[in-house]
Amino acid sequence: MNCIKKFAYSVVAIAMIAGFSVSAQAKEWKGWNIHVAGYPNTVAMDKFAELLSEKSGGKMTLKMYHSGTLGSQPDAIEQVRIGGLEIANFNLGPIGPIVPEANVVSLPFIFKDTDHMWRVLEGKAGDMINAGLAKKGLISLAWYAAGARSFYNSKKPIKTPADVVGMKVRVMNNDLYSGMISALGGNPSPMAFAEVYQSLKTGVVDGAENNWPSYESTGHYEVAAFYSNSQHLIIPETLCINADVYNALSADEQKILKEAAQESAVLQRDLWKKREKASQAKVMAAGVKLNEIPDKSAFQAAMKPVYDKYLAENPGLKPLVELIQNTD
């Protein structure tokens, strides 16, 4: 009789342990995104959360917090690195000061065009950037499009580097962007994205630089009506996860995560192309004055000190820079 009781207790104990193990595998994560409702990244991140739950049978769930409600981008990057947040969509620009390999994409004019950027990210250079992110606690699951960044301001068209001289230009918090503006003779003004509209309106800064959808969705075109198509930066965004969280997943869970991320990236890139066209059409209809810069050679030549300084401080990254430049 005692043997039967012991056996019964053992079965119950095993069942309880198994039940605990299953429940412990349930993943409930928080996700960060700076963009507003309806923005391609916002729609794609919501789709990612939906796919994650669907593919995992509800065992992996993600609650998204959009519009930067959980903090600024630099703060959110640090939160994902230390595990305060699990998942986020970041631009590589603000990640650059933390991850040297990722900072390479912030060198002005390093990409010939958007197609060149995708070829780079899908090759050996992309693997090197991913490895750099992983060393700093971030696992990149997919690349999102962010278009080309160009100058806009409230004063005049920018046609040559001389037009930037003396101009106060908002930049993201990255020494490379500050160096770029300084090399053109302007005054760089790093500040949080949320502060830019009021700063443009009140004249704290004369201009900024960004892509068409951001220029339009933030209303910056209302207070800075000159858009100069310099396309000086083509910086991708990453959908990433905390490295410890990722490494604790089973191989099957990692596969589900990557599949959901990649599918969301396909959606995001498609929405991005459509949004770029719609945003440009909207601001042009509102009276924005667009000027093209067919010959960017003067701007590119002005960037030599930026490259020289960067490579002097990061000699180990010269092969990565050359690999990108030599990618067809």
Residue 59 lies in a domain: yes
Q: Which amino acid is at 164?
A: V
pLDDT at 328: 86
Q: Is the same domain home to 119 and 266?
A: yes
Long-range contacts of 40-44 (CB under 8 A, 24+ apart): 40/144, 40/145, 40/213, 40/268, 40/271, 40/272, 40/275, 41/89, 41/144, 41/237, 41/268, 42/66, 43/267, 43/268, 43/271, 44/89, 44/144, 44/264, 44/265, 44/267, 44/268, 44/271
The C-alpha atoms of residue 288 and residue 205 are separated, in whole angstroms, by 18
Q: Is the same domain home to 210 and 69?
A: no
Residue 1 lies in a domain: no
Q: Is the same domain home to 137 and 68?
A: yes
What distance, in Å, lies between the first and last C-alpha atoms of the chain? 78
Residue 2 lies in a domain: no
pLDDT at 55: 97
Q: Is the same domain home to 241 and 119?
A: yes
Residue 12 lies in a domain: no
How many structural domains are present in the chain?
A: 2
Residue 121 lies in a domain: yes
Span 202-214, pLDDT tens digits = 999 999 999 999 9
Q: Answer yes or no: is pLDDT of 22 > 70.
A: no
- Contact indicator for 125, 323 with CB cutoff of 8 Å: yes
Residue 4 lies in a domain: no
Residue 14 lies in a domain: no
Which among 263, 278, 293 is the end of a domain? 278
Span 212-245, pLDDT tens digits = 999 999 999 999 999 999 999 999 999 999 999 9
Q: Is the same domain home to 152 and 90?
A: no
Angle at 32 between CA 48 and CA 148, to 5 degrees: 80
Q: Is the same domain home to 99 and 123?
A: yes
Q: Is the same domain home to 208 and 294?
A: yes
Which tokens in the block code for residue 16?
A: 């309880």
Q: Is the same domain home to 249 and 129?
A: yes
Q: Is the same domain home to 46 and 71?
A: yes
Indicate which CATH number applies to the domain containing 321: 3.40.190.170
Which among 243, 262, 278 is the end of a domain? 278
pLDDT at 184: 97
Q: Is the same domain home to 126 and 251?
A: yes
Q: Answer yes or no: is pLDDT of 2 > 50.
A: no
**Full residue range of the structural domain in which residue 205 is found:** 148-234+285-326
Q: Is the same domain home to 223 and 274?
A: no
Q: Is the same domain home to 62 and 125?
A: yes
pLDDT at 172: 87
The C-alpha atoms of residue 277 and residue 114 are separated, in whole angstroms, by 15
Span 250-262, pLDDT tens digits = 999 999 999 999 9
The C-alpha atoms of residue 186 and residue 208 are separated, in whole angstroms, by 11
